């Protein structure tokens, strides 16, 4: 009987440890597979996208007052400047949620503007002419632009706060994360 209680306690402890959080931005999940008389444990790393984008927003506004209105673009792959995966939508929507819920900022839906277009590949800025993107046209002072890149082993996220009047980057955030199975699935093309 003591062996059963001890084995159950160990199994419960391992299960709870498998769901533990390493830090606010990452967490691991451990799964167990029985192979004969042995249990094989595998741990996978997951990114807490909400916490990452909250941290990014706090970082980019460290030296700039949070504006009343802002445009947020979809995150795009830095190599292709295309958003062909779910990851770009998840990151940009989490940035919007953070701005609205934590900072009470109005997020302008950029796709309703004639200089922005949304397609199957994400949100596109249709002009490189800064005069066409001036704040007086949209009553917006800042745009938050996100990009990402990845290898088989890591994901790197970049977020920039751009002053639309001057084109100057007023805030920046970059962070690397280990690549886990959920992130790999998010990066698969739509």
pLDDT tens-place string over residues 29-47:
777 888 888 888 777 788 8
**Main-chain dihedrals φ then ψ at residue 18, nearest 5 degrees:** -65, -20
Q: How many residues does the chain have?
A: 190
For the whole model, what pTM was predicted? 0.70
Sorted by where each begins, the domain ranges of the chain are 1-47, 48-187
Average pLDDT of span 152-162: 94
Q: Are 145 and 168 in contact (CB under 8 A)?
A: no
What are the residues whose beta carbons fall under 8 Å from the beta carbon of 80, sequence distance 6 or more?
Answer: none
**How sure is the predictor about 129, in pLDDT bands with cuts at 50, 70 and 90?**
low
Check whether domain 48-187 has CATH 3.30.390.50, yes or no: no
Residue with tokens 């922005």: 116
Please tell me the distance from the alpha carbon of residue 183 to that of residue 127, in angstroms, as a whole number: 31
**Structure tokens given for 63:** 């030296």
How many angstroms from the chain centroid is the CA of residue 71? 16
């Amino acid at each position: 009987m003591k062996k059963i209680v001890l084995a159950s306690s160990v199994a419960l402890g391992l299960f709870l440890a498998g769901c533990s959080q390493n830090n606010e931005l990452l967490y691991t999940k451990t799964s167990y597979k029985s192979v004969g008389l042995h249990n094989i444990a595998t741990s996978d790393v997951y990114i807490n996208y909400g916490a990452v984008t909250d941290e990014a927003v706090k970082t980019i506004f460290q030296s700039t007052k949070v504006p009343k209105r802002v445009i947020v673009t979809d995150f795009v792959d830095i190599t292709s400047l295309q958003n062909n995966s779910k990851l770009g939508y998840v990151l940009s929507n989490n940035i919007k949620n953070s701005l609205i819920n934590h900072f009470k900022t109005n997020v302008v839906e950029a796709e309703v503007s004639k200089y922005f277009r949304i397609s199957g590949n994400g949100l596109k800025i249709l002009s490189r002419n800064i005069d066409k993107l001036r704040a007086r046209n949209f009553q917006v002072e800042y745009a938050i632009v996100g990009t990402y890149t990845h290898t088989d082993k890591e994901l790197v996220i970049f977020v920039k706060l751009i002053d639309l009047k001057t084109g100057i980057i007023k805030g920046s955030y970059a962070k690397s994360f280990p690549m886990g199975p959920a992130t790999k699935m998010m990066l698969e093309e739509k």
